[in-house]
Structure 1
């Protein structure tokens, strides 16, 4: 089969799978944006209800991602994940900010860089059952997306505080107390989890699973109310009270609620050109940083992770925080989210067509399957 026919076949398959999903996402965002513009629904932006829903959606994505991580694989690749969520986040932010400043000469470019530097865990969790990557690479991407979210959220809080005071959905406070609260909640959750039996092998007392489910709910409520997302992401590594079916349904619902939240934000206006440049910069920054960080992985995994950038409710949530101080942030970040996700679908479809799986790599997947 010629390259042209293979490419056409894969693009056609994509239209029935990932591309169809993206079109549905864009359709929902557009419809809600028009409705918000027509009815004045954009007035809910920045309200406690809107911000609360956004934080809950972020919490679902974080917990769903970390609770699905293969712990043995994550331990093996801990250095890669640690580099990704520390050095990687900083490098991606710098690259995106540099591109935006070079093109538009706006000092708030660094803010936009932080807003889209993370890989959205809600999107990663929603696509978890579409294994275009090897199991190892999937675990790395899940861990990466789970922990770069709280890192970028914390960076945004302190960057906003450094640049000036303004309304924030994340609250206020210095870095050390916030880090201490996150570690404290995670430590308390771990201690209570051990008291309820932990992950005991063999026959367990009948009260263990219900007790751990109640503990999971309590930790989630505390994390959402105080925006302790790092604690919640950490708790997902050990709090796994057999609710995978519930998390799967909650993730699917949350993904489309996130699309509605994005649409409401865009109802107030959109800066298309800046959004396109921001989306391109975000996607390319993932490619550059990932290739460096994952240089010891097999080729297919390296490329798959390099093409793994996705944005969603996390970027919008950070844009909400920054909007009062930097008007127009939502109008730029919203289109960038669509651009990043479109690039994700197209780039992975093309790579799925041209790659030749090496030893130990999963067979090339047809996206229609």
Structure 2
């Protein structure tokens, strides 16, 4: 149950995430966990959280809407990611004059799928817009990885280092082998899923047999998530969420996504306890949030037709960062010390901006005492200015409130006036 002073538009899981973040920071300050952060176990745990978020995000996508908006999804995860990373990096380099800060644009350019999956029941977005945002969040990660391979090399040289950075991994060859492994994992999982669906009608139709089938299907998904987390095969997980669907997964997946969201913010608190660089972090978070608005409002309408104004604004406010940014930052920290201290507060800045924007969009501020009870008038005329017709589901506005007060109501016997 939420405290009374919190707006109803604030989801309870956001309050839980804030508490987990504070708890993680307290634990990180009380105990030196610097040796744990960046180890294989920590990276695997973070990868598992990311895999759960990816699967939950794509599992919730409306496939019909995805087919209709496929050009928009492709544009978002290719052109959109590159443009966002370029805008963010440009702001950081111009603001601080350090060429190596170009890597920071990559770290926060993607939208965190775990946050989108956990907070994806925003009633102010249409199912079409939610599906578009979920697909955007789920499939922009591979593009971010590809950018990391190439941009890290440039930034490493710009910082005055010799040789190749560890973040580049195996270069283009490593990226190609990663795609092959993703394809192999996806093919194996889909084959087992198809075989199970074909065998299901041959089994007895007893409740016990159905429970056994659901258990086996769940174990297949869990095994896929573990393998993906151990080898960072996240593309396979994202695509699998479009096909591995059954009603029996609904409640369990909701709990898993919610739990992963809280654990991710606990880990983020440990991450922040290592120290923060507030000013660059704030500028980075502000640039990331603004870059999403630029791409969503300026570029996406060229590829996605028919979105109403409310959905366009919701996509423009859709930037969220979390465990994905943490994973990329841990990778970059080895070659670019101080990345953690900047990205940590940037993640908090982005999420605070996102939460504030959601609250304000649900409860638009009123300016002027008693103004909500008056019609806006032209200074030179006694007639009220024309107002847009309300959408029926939109937020309360001055014009709609005025019309509701002047519109004729029902007669005492319940009949509508002629």
> What range describes the TM-score normalised by the shorter chain of this pair?
0.7 to 0.9
Match of 2:319 in 1: 309
- 1:303-322 CA deviation, whole Å, 9 max, x = no partner? 11111111111111111111
* Structure 1 segment 182-221 matched on structure 2, within 5 A: 182-197=182-197, 206=210, 208-221=213-226
CA–CA distance in 2 between the matches of 1:331 and 1:361? 45
TM-score by length of 2: 0.76
Flag the 1:245–1:283 CA change in 2: closer, same or farther, 3 A.
Answer: same
Match of residue 72, structure 2, among 75, 80, 95: 80
Q: Quote the offset at 1:150 in angstroms.
A: 3.2
- Give me the TM-score of the superposition, normalised by structure 1: 0.86
- Please tell me whether residue 318 in structure 1 is matched to residue 328 in structure 2: yes
Give the Cα–Cα distance (whole angstroms) in 1 for the partners of residues 133 and 68 of structure 2: 14
Instruction: State the Cα deviation string for residues 97-119 of structure 1 (Å, max 9, x = none).
Output: 00000001122222111110111
Residue 103 (1) aligns with residue 86 (2):
no
1:115 touches 1:315 (CA, 8 Å); kept in 2? yes
Q: Which residue, out of 97, 109, 116, partners 2:108?
A: 116
How far apart are residue 180 of structure 1 and its match?
1.9
Structure 1 unaligned segments of length 5 or more: list them.
Answer: 1-11
CA contact (8 A) 2:193 2:244 kept: yes
Deviating more after overlay: 95-104 vs 180-189: 180-189
Structure 1 or 2: larger helix share?
Answer: 1
1:18: which partner in 2?
10
Alignment of 1:319-338 (within 5 A): 319-338=329-348
Q: Aligned equivalents of 1:101 and 1:198: distance in 2?
A: 56
| Residues 300 and 357, structure 1, Cα contact 8 Å, conserved in 2 | no
How many corresponding residue pairs?
353
Q: Which has the higher contact order (CA 8 A, sep 6+)?
A: 1
Pair 1:238 & 2:243 matched: yes
Tell me, what secondary structure is at the counterpart of 2:61? coil
User: Deviation of residue 90 (structure 1)?
Assistant: 0.4
2-structure distance, mates of 1:131, 1:198 = 37
| CA radius of gyration, larger in | 2
- Give distance in 1, aligned partners of 2:392 and 2:81: 28
After superposition, the CA RMSD in angstroms is 3.0
1:343 to 338, 348, 353: 353
Deviation at 1:161, TM superposition (A): 6.1
